[in-house]
Amino acid sequence: MRISRPSPGTVIATIALVMASTGTAVAAVSYATNAGAVDRISAVDAGSSNARAKGNLVATARGGSNSGQIPNKFLADVPEAQSFAVPLAVTDNATSAAVDLGSTPLGKFSVACQDQANGAGTEDPRMQLSFTNLSGGDANIARRAGVGEANVGLIANGTVDSFTISNANTFRVHVQKDNVNVVVEGATRQDRPDPANGACFVWGTVEVFR
């Protein structure tokens, strides 16, 4: 049996069919490769490193205190901020256990409530605020309570700088090492409804600038 030569129309139709099928396959591969991308830019999760996130989109956090938000480490020229509000009971003629106000790349801030009255059964609370240098080297530190004169100096690694506020006042602590600056601002309140009972309350913010 002799096979007749296909007509030009048949040849053109076959070529068109092959090209259409190939185009569909290429499109399918392209879609699979870029699935989930926006304008061909892929996304990484909120727990990724900055190196992995480079050039990509960043998803909001799935859980934790920043659920539904972009982590601060991905935002340029924006300080990392946290707030605190800490009530502490005072023990007669004693000092309470220290409570952390915030941890930073340079160290941690804490507060303790002390009874500054000497007599038994009389509580007169004051607050002891401390910064522990955990930066791995010496750091500059400046602190002020209220509108008083600032105390400026150097704090060695592994040491603690403390100061007390006897009643209600504001305070500001500024620590610096290399290109990192940490600023803590807040206020203290002395609660003393009667001579035998007292408590401390401290609130404020911690900001880290890089």
- The pLDDT tens digits for 54-67 are 888 888 888 876 78
Copy the structure tokens of residue 188.
Answer: 């203290």
CATH 2.60.40 fits 79-209, yes or no: yes
Other Cβ atoms within 10 Å of 107 Cβ, number: 26
> Nearest CA to 196 among 107, 124, 134?
124
What are the residue boundaries of the structural domains of the chain, listed by start?
79-209
Kindly report, residue by residue over 166-183, the tens digit of the pLDDT: 989 999 999 999 999 999
Low-confidence ranges of the chain (pLDDT < 70): 1-6, 8-36, 39-40, 65, 76-77
